[in-house]
Structure 1
């Protein structure tokens, strides 16, 4: 597959030619209760991996998954920053409806909790007989809030409760369920990854759902100085070191560290797939890889040097394409057509209805509160794929932003809290880099998309487009 075709095709609305009339639930009924692993990495840009155009960083395992699975060119994170993106993923609600719409910090540890009345992906699988595990960063409920991972449908949790704590890759402790486990200088991602692999081994004879939320490549830029780092030693010109600013540790060679962290994450992916194969369960496991939002420019990271945003406009926290369009790879031997590419528009909140379809569960799970659509017909190349009328996002920091994409048209509203917001209109098919604001030429289209924004935003007592805590 020619990975360089991705951005070129990203604006088109082509669909898999193998779609047919068969019902997806009939196909799923022949499977033996498929396992699901959803690997959500942290702050990965659209072109951070080779199959999506990266030319300086090695990611052979993800390239293999693209060649043997399906990749999406127009998959969007649920918003442009961590906690609300994850909350939207967990609930199937976009950020105009979720309780968590920003990084609302709680001291001394944790963030605003999920609404306990709203079901999560963990609840979906747990209540349908699956063993469920979350490994990595949670960020949706401080200790004792009732919104911790173990309270929201996960039998097993190992990692960071708090996003702020996850800024440090050598933390004092990680949470083993609801107990602190002191690390004594251990690299957190290695510890989390080992627990994730153990979860696979321990449950190889059961149906399981693994939510693997590794924090790579989020800053800080540090890791064990091993053979992965040596791959990139002296490979890049390093303009200057990054010295600790309190949030992130010092990185003397930030470009080297960033590249090695991406390859380290790719190595973890390869080890997960090998573990599935070793246990003889690869052919009954759906593995999905994606990111919570676009790339950051913190802790010494240099996304423009690596072209991590694929020359798309904007980074993390922006509702431009670069802040939200992310890699999405699905791998399921014998079920997903190898080397297939999908150009449908999809987003994180589509995962809840997709997994409801995958499990073939009772219609009670097809709640009116869900904003997503099932993309299972596309993944399996069977059945008719429903399409989004629109995608909608909110961002409640930096003055407040909204965005809506309907077909090829995208409207962005900026500086909402000023009382005098601005509007930018783009045709993504013709202008994927969002270089030309054409709002003045198409006032009727602007009004049409503004009406969607106004309709989809439900008022929140917690998030009002003010400047919330940033992370």
Structure 2
């Protein structure tokens, strides 16, 4: 009889433990993605800047996971943002370059947008009970806030407070924000402050205790830069000129707003909230265009700048911090990407991934251990690159790059694949390969293709294969899609 009672007690205890374990697994984390605009790899003090003070982000990096090999989906804004949202190379969505306004052009660039069939992170998370909000820059359509193209709300954002591209006329007192389809008009304050204000108000007004996905997209430090004068004065003694001081102040002002957001999250959602911080691409080149007079962003030790397929174009600061959960704590050089957000968020929320080909993979092992092996290389085909090699691939410790050649001449830069240049692009050959060992040469200063001939041939073959598959899956625009 005692044996039966003992067995019954063990069974009841097992059921109770299983129930607790199941309940714990079903608790879905809140997810916050913070994205800067044109922030360079070397622009945070925790990533090596000797002047700019970023105490809030430095604290996140110290208490969480600092990723030194974190990559954006593209070296420029629109394709990078599309890649983050979809977990797919932006080429698959047909977003090859930044999206301008709807001024008609031969290459159909004026109709480029994130199309209605694309599956996104907020839409996926809504299927498992998440509330969702976008606050800040959108830049995934040529017709912004128009019936001609889907708005952020179509892609799963319950609430959105956004601009098409930059804050205008500058970060100070912008007047081009739209809230859920309605023009907001002139606002007082700086863009990063206003974007965090909106995020906090949404969190305070959100009904129910269901989990949330919050995407905070700062305009800082993209031009046209404007910064609080007290911060500008602070940096003047350490800057080359007032424009540089304004850039330094711009980054610190953004950091202050991250601090405001984190303080609220710690006070109200400290049990289970994953915070991710990064940038959409590398730093703008000073005076590349007439309004880029404040663009003193730092690539750190990396080669290139924004719009380059060398490292500084898309290797950016990456920080992960999970409130209420034990994770790896420290610095990792694991190769990770914003393309990995969708599969990661699906895994930690128990959401079902969309039935499409993804280019990212889950980073949960990185979050737990600080290490991750990529089973699929990262590849970029950026056809408007400022450097000569448009195609790049990173796998393990290696990076291989090449040019595109058509017959005997190099393919000239272009913004978009459309039915007028599709054949030429698909018939172009990969040429002039170079190989870098990223573990030993972060600045891409030495081509080691002759030193490692077997690895070079192996990666050439792999790049041709991966680029061929990407090109085959790339979307081609035509006027019929208007």
TM-score by length of 2: 0.79
Q: Is the 8 A contact 2:129 2:210 kept in 1?
A: no
1:425 aligned residue: 435
Partner of 1:7: none
The secondary structure found in structure 2 opposite 1:451 is helix
Residues 172-191 of structure 1 deviation map (CA, whole Å, 9 limit, x = unaligned): 32111111111156533322
Alpha carbons of 1:393 and 1:64: their partners in 2 closer, same or farther (altered >3 Å)?
same
1:216 is matched with: 220
**How far apart are 1:445 and its partner, in Å?**
3.8
Stretches of structure 1 lacking an aligned partner (at least 5 in a row): 1-25, 239-252, 464-471
Residue 316 and residue 131 in structure 1: after superposition, are their counterparts in 2 closer, same or farther (change >3 A)? same
Shift of 1:49: 0.8
Q: Indicate conservation of the 8 Å contact 1:140/1:147, yes or no.
A: no
C-alpha distance 184-30 of structure 1, shift in aligned 2 (>3 A):
closer
Could you report, residue by residue, the CA deviation over 1:287-326 in whole angstroms, capped at 9, with x for unpaired residues? 11101111112422454xx6x2112101101111111111
Distance (whole Å) between structure 1 residues aligned to residue 319 and residue 22 of structure 2: 21
Output the CA distance in 2 between the equivalents of 1:68 and 1:44.
21
Out of 307, 326, 335, the position equivalent to 1:317 is 307
Looking at structure 2, the residues matched to 65 and 183 of structure 1 have their Cα atoms a distance apart, in angstroms, of: 33
In structure 2, C-alpha distance between the alignment counterparts of 1:430 and 1:105, rounded to whole Å: 39
> In the alignment, does 2:379 pair up with 1:377?
no
> What does residue 135 of structure 1 align with?
135
1:381 Cα deviation after fit = 3.5
Aligned to 1:259: 248
- Deviation per CA, 1:137-166: give whole Å up to 9, x if none: 101122223421111110111120x22566
Give the alignment partner of residue 329 of structure 1, picking from 291, 294, 319.
319
Asked if residue 358 in structure 1 is aligned to residue 339 in structure 2, the reply is no
Give the equivalent residue in structure 2 for 1:20: none
Inter-partner Cα distance in structure 1 for 2:126 and 2:264: 23
Name the CA distance, whole Å, in 2 between partners of 1:167 and 1:400: 35
The answer to whether the 8 Å contact 1:273/1:282 transfers is no
What count of residue pairs does the alignment treat as equivalent? 415
Matched, 1:237 2:227: no
Q: Distance in 1 between matches of 2:234 and 2:118?
A: 46
SS of match in other structure, 1:283: coil
Which string of whole-angstrom CA distances, capped at 9 and with x for unpartnered residues, describes residues 23-65 of structure 1?
A: xxx7994463211110011111112111111211111111111
Whole-angstrom distance in 1 between the partners of 2:219 and 2:358: 27
For residue 204 of structure 2, what is the aligned residue in structure 1?
201
Distance change (3 Å), C-alpha of 1:366 and 1:381: farther
SS in 1 for 2:275: strand
Residue 466 of structure 1 is matched in structure 2 by none
TM-score by length of 1: 0.81
Higher helix share: 2
2:477 match: 462
3-state SS of paired residue (1:182): coil
In the TM superposition, residue 66 of structure 1 has moved relative to its aligned partner by 1.2
Q: Tell me the CA shift for residue 236 of structure 1.
A: 1.7
What is the alpha-carbon root mean square deviation over aligned residues? 2.7
CA contact (8 A) 1:35 1:284 kept: yes
Q: Select which of 47, 55, 64 maps to 1:52.
A: 47
Matches within 5 A, 1:262-281: 262-279=251-268, 281=269
Equivalent residue of 2:177, what SS?
A: strand
Instruction: Measure the CA separation in 2 of the matches of 1:82 and 1:329.
Output: 19
2:355 corresponds, among 342, 361, 367, to 367
| Counterpart contact for 1:86–1:292, Cα < 8 Å | yes
8 Å CA contact retained: 1:68, 1:338: no
* Residues 91-240 of structure 1 aligned to structure 2 (within 5 Å): 91-107=86-102, 112-141=112-141, 142=143, 143-160=146-163, 162-163=164-165, 168-169=170-171, 170-183=173-186, 186-203=189-206, 205-225=209-229, 227-238=230-241
Structure 2 CA distance, aligned partners of 1:201 and 1:48?
A: 32
Give the structure with higher Rg (CA): 2
- Structure 2 counterparts to residues 406-421 of structure 1, below 5 A: 406-414=395-403, 417-418=411-412, 421=431
Unaligned stretches of 5+ in structure 2?
1-20, 105-109, 287-291, 406-410, 413-427
> 2-side partners of 1:412 and 1:87: how far apart?
23
Q: 2:446 aligns with which of 412, 432, 436?
A: 436
The reply to whether residue 346 of structure 1 matches residue 359 of structure 2 is: no
1:385 Cα deviation (Å)?
A: 4.8
Q: Deviations for 1:416-448, whole angstroms, at most 9, x for unmatched residues?
A: 524675332212122211011234553524532
Distance 1:145 1:282, change over 3 A: farther
